[in-house]
Structure 1
Amino acid sequence: MNRTETGPARPDLARSARRPAVLFRSVSAAALIVAAVGLAGCKEQTRADAPPPERPVKVATVRYASTAETRDFVGVIRARTESALGFRVAGKLVERPVDVGDRVTAGQVVARLDRTDLALQVRSAEAELDAARSNYTQAKSDEARYASLRSRGFAPVAEYERKKAALDAAASRVEQARQSLDLARNQLAYGDLVADADGVVVSVGAEPGQVVATGQTVVTVARDGPREAEVALPESWLTEARRANAAVRLWADRGDAWPASLRELAPQADPVTRTYAARFTIDAAGADLPALGMTATVTLALPGNGEVARLPLAAVMNDGSGASVFVVDPDTSILHRRKVALRSFTEEVALVEAGLKPGEQVVTLGVHQLRDGVAVRMLKDG
């Protein structure tokens, strides 16, 4: 019987069967690599063709202003003259017909004292004057009699001289009594406190029934006339206040400003605040005067020299060829480097006097990292 023998597969036949699969995988891998390379090239080409992104920058608007240095001080409107009225004699206050805010005229009675004691002093002085006159009459009669006796030789000279001295003393006592009566009458008149000028009552210092001392303030009257703004100046502005141009504005009315002039400056500082009291007279001819006690702002402006634009110091760069700034084109948002002329600068601010136009936008930060022609996106800084 013929038998077909079966044995293991031959190795060369197995390898031949796997070759198509390996070849397919190799081709697929190569295709993927080529596709990846192509995509990468497309992306690089896209990045190269796309415009660079806009860089955000902070900018400030150029504004020119006078270089005159100004400073504001808060003060109070006062009358140029304020009279603190008080009695010239002591006594009990029985009447005060005026109050704060009332208008008074010159000669108007603003307060009265109890006159009982003052009237008694007048009567006492009158009695003393009558006694002095009687004594004078007696002394004069004695002197005339002794003068007659002396002329006839019946009276010694020494006795006549004593009578003559007594007459002189009596005459002096009459004059003294007359002066005492005038003083008592004056004191009686001083029992009425009268205003010495037209004005308005701004404060009172005593009430009816109160016993006041001589000279104690009973009523304070602000006289009609010029108004002044009273402020407190620091030491650094003592010299500048004398040459500065002053203007006064009211907090209640922010509109018009009145020109003013320094009238009074305290010679020494306040021991608590270490400031110097100053009074500026308001030139308000032909205008309504401000009300007393209103809050005012006194602006002192020192004489300046032209106009400058104040920019942050960080906006200015200098690489050896002069100061320059980056200006943003308002139409294209492209940076343009421009040289500028500086008048001066401080630790924070640069004063530009030429090279920029009002309203232009200048980059204020990071200027050393920028270059001419770069597109930016503006972030307003002020």
Structure 2
Amino acid sequence: MPTVATALRLLTVVSAAALLAGCGDPAPAEQAGPPPRPVQVVEVALKPLEVDKTFVGVIRARREIDLSFRVGGKISQRLVEVGDRVKAGEVIAKLDPEDLSLQLQSAEAELAAATANFNQTTAEDGRYRTLTQRGFASNADLDRKAVAKEEAVGRLERAKRALDLARNQLAYADLISDAEGVVVSTSAEPGQVLVSGQTVARIARLDEKEAAVALPETALASARADGATVTLWADPNRSYKARLRELSPQADATSRTYAARFALENADDRVALGMTATVTLHPAGHADVARLPLSAVFDRGTGPRVYVVDPKTRILSVRTVEIAGYTADTALVSNGLSAGESVVAMGVQTLEAGRSVRTVAAR
């Protein structure tokens, strides 16, 4: 059995070993630095400074012509209906020609009378000149015959002009289309008595087609400077190049929008009048920008900066950036950042470069 002395020696050895163990390296908790700080970050995405703008409109013809008779009368025939295609020179409607024919006959009779009167006064003027030279007539008689001849000349000219006018008016009894197009409306029926200039039909020319839209005042500059395309709801897979042809200088009193017309290039028969169209404005010459929350940018007297998180070490670094502009809640960064980088979104005033962080995606 071990003696008391032996037991004491063993106790001494155990105590020394425990003391040596207590004098070793500190605990891991005492050796580590401050824990990583949680921060909200946003991922950088580069997008154009201005995005495409779209507006809904309607296909219209650039020129719509109201056809009307140049003389008054009773319609005897209307040869077209709404939707009919017409060609240049085609007869649209006709007036009853009876009264116009009578006016033509009256003008022809007046011309015949004026011609006879002219021939008579010319002959008398010639005879009196001969008699005056021989002394058988006075100069006063010769003057009267000369005046009568001049009046006959004037009457003959008036009769010729009246006959031309009567012939033209009879020709105006046929209403003729001036250009190729489609009938979009009619406003007179056979049997109706019209006055000169009263509309009979409206013809939309098909050589130029446009998209009519209403633009807000915020889109006026883009409409003037940007390129445009037009797509049809009936055929959304095909687009047509367009250009701004007309922009109203004054806003509509009710909608407070500006009427605009975009001319379509190479519009074919698939572009029908009245179709619903979408006009898209494409901004040109604008660089891509990163849209960051206003709370992500700070300035301590050396220009705008942001905190960027290293994706591997999770260590913060300061990055100087260029600001293209501000909106109500975002800063538009034009230079200094690359797509995919993580930027601290808020709380930047309490951070410093080199700090280890734990990232949380901002909502």
Q: TM-score, normalised by structure 2?
A: 0.74
Partner of 1:261: 243
Query: Aligned partners of 1:267 and 1:253: how far apart in 2?
Result: 32
Q: 1-side partners of 2:345 and 2:199: how far apart?
A: 61
Q: Is the 8 A contact 2:86 2:180 kept in 1?
A: yes
Distance 1:241 1:218, change over 3 A: same
CA positional deviation for 1:262: 2.6
2:292 matches 1:292? no
CA shift for structure 1 position 301: 4.0
Structure 1 residues 272-311: aligned runs within 5 Å:
272-273=254-255, 275-284=257-266, 290-311=271-292
Superposition pairs for residues 22-101 of structure 1, below 5 Å? 62-68=44-50, 70-101=52-83
Residue among 183, 192, 198 paired with 1:216 = 198
Question: Percent identity, aligned pairs only?
Answer: 49
Q: Which residue of the partner structure matches residue 98 of structure 2?
A: 116
What is the deviation of 1:271? 5.1
Q: Quote the residue 2:10 is aligned against.
A: none
What amino acid maps onto 1:277 in structure 2? Answer: A
Between the aligned partners of 1:357 and 1:263, the Cα distance in structure 2 is 40
Cα drift, residue 328 of structure 1 = 9.6
Compared CA separation, residues 261 and 56, structure 1 to 2 (3 A) = same
Q: How far apart are the structure 2 equivalents of 1:335 and 1:318? A: 20
1:204 has 2:204 as partner: no
Indicate the residue corresponding to 1:148 in structure 2. 130
User: What's the secondary structure of 1:254's corresponding residue?
Assistant: strand
1:161 equivalent in structure 2: 143
> Residue 341 of structure 1 is aligned with which of 309, 321, 325?
321
Amino acid across the alignment from 1:130: A
Structure-2 separation of matches of 1:256 and 1:377: 44
**Distance in 2 of aligned mates of 1:78 and 1:375:** 59
CA positional deviation for 1:165: 1.3
Q: 1:185 matched to which residue of 2?
A: 167
Q: Is the 8 A contact 2:89 2:179 kept in 1?
A: yes
Q: Distance in 1 between matches of 2:92 and 2:107?
A: 28
CA distance in 2, matches of 1:139, 1:195: 46
- 8 Å CA contact 2:39–2:357 kept in 1: the answer is no
- 1:207 is displaced (CA, Å) by 2.7
Give 1:170's aligned residue.
Answer: 152
Distance in 2 of aligned mates of 1:375 and 1:128: 109
User: For residues 201 and 265 of structure 1, what CA distance do their matches in structure 2 show?
Assistant: 26
Q: Is the CA contact 1:335–1:375 (under 8 Å) kept in the aligned structure 2?
A: no
* Partner of residue 125, structure 1: 107
| Unmatched runs of 5 consecutive residues or more in structure 2 | 1-34
Mark the CA change 1:215 to 1:276 in structure 2 (over 3 Å): closer, same or farther.
farther
Q: Aligned pairs, how many? A: 328
- CA RMSD, Structure 1 to Structure 2 (Å): 3.7
| Superposed CA offset, 1:319-342 (max 9, x none) | 67753256696x99x796663624
State the distance in 2 between where 1:249 and 1:369 align. 52
- Larger-gyration structure (1/2): 1
Distance 1:378 1:86, change over 3 A: same
- With over 3 angstroms needed to count, the CA separation of the structure-2 counterparts of 1:313 and 1:166, relative to structure 1, is same
Q: Displacement of 1:176 after TM fit?
A: 0.8
- Could you tell me whether the CA contact under 8 Å between 1:326 and 1:367 is conserved in 2? no
Q: What residue is the counterpart of 1:353 in the other structure?
A: 334
Cα gap change, 1:306 to 1:115, in 2 (>3 Å): same
- Measure, in 2, the Cα distance between the counterparts of 1:74 and 1:164: 76
Aligned equivalents of 2:291, 2:360: Cα separation in 1: 22
1:293 counterpart SS class? coil
Residue 281 of structure 2 aligns to which amino acid in structure 1?
Answer: L
User: Displacement, 1:119?
Assistant: 1.8
**Cα distance in 2, alignment partners of residues 328 and 206 from structure 1:** 79
User: Residue type matched to 2:289 in 1?
Assistant: V
Measured in 2, the distance between the counterparts of 1:328 and 1:86 equals 78
Structure 1 unaligned blocks of 5 or more: 1-51
